[in-house]
Amino acid sequence: MPISKNRPIRSYVLRQGRLTKFQANGIKLLSPMYLIPFESNTIKWDNIFENKGKKIIEIGFGMGDTTAEIAETLTKSNFIAIDVHPPGVGNLLNKINEKELKNLKIIQYDAVEVLKKMVINKSLDAIHIFFPDPWHKKRHNKRRLIQEPFLELISKKLKKNGYIHIATDWEDYANSIINIFNKNEFYKIKNSNFFKKPSYRPKTKYENRGVNLGHKVWDIIFVKV
């Protein structure tokens, strides 16, 4: 479904979140080391990270526990995690510091604008989007992130054979995602078993809540051709 001309694509939903003292201290003390400021200049990955590994962006990391665990597992890849919400940013900054992760940085801004302004075309090896807001009411479906304009944007940023991995526990959203991708000539589906979780992605707290409610979790991976 096309995005309304009056409504810009956004990667986040405004929500309230209480900032704990620990999270606030993380933002205050650790931002200079691990936070990349939003700007119009493109990201210089080789200047930011020590290794020259794969370049992966995660959009919407929540509290960041899964993000930190993936970075700790895939040590030869470099990650930039993007979200706008201070509690999650503060929590992930503390996780990076505690685990001494050298391959993970954060940008606290709208991911769509980051992709447009800060990411060079054909530079990314992968994009991860785990449990984006499903906007499950039909009248709100138009607010979903995964729509045709967004696919066109990320197709410019991914390298050939780069992939996008989306996890969701809403069947309607999963089917919508698959249909949108299948209509796009720039992608081909990589996995046929959507209910087999890739080993590098740990289960999230949100995911466990969904499973306890009887939701199936879909892991959908498409490759840029």
CA 125 – CA 123 distance, rounded (Å): 7
133 is catalytic: yes
Q: Yes or no: say if 83 and 14 are a contact pair by the CB < 8 Å rule.
A: no
Catalytic residue (one of 83, 133, 169, 219):
133
Instruction: Dig out the tokens for 126 from the structure.
Output: 């992968």
SS3 content of the chain, % helix, strand, coil (to 5): 40, 20, 40
Burial label for 202, CB within 10 Å (0-12, 13-18, 19+), is: middle
* CA nearest to 134, candidates 194, 210, 224: 210
Q: Which residues on adjacent β-strands are paired with residue 59? A: 82
Q: Which residues are annotated as catalytic? A: 133
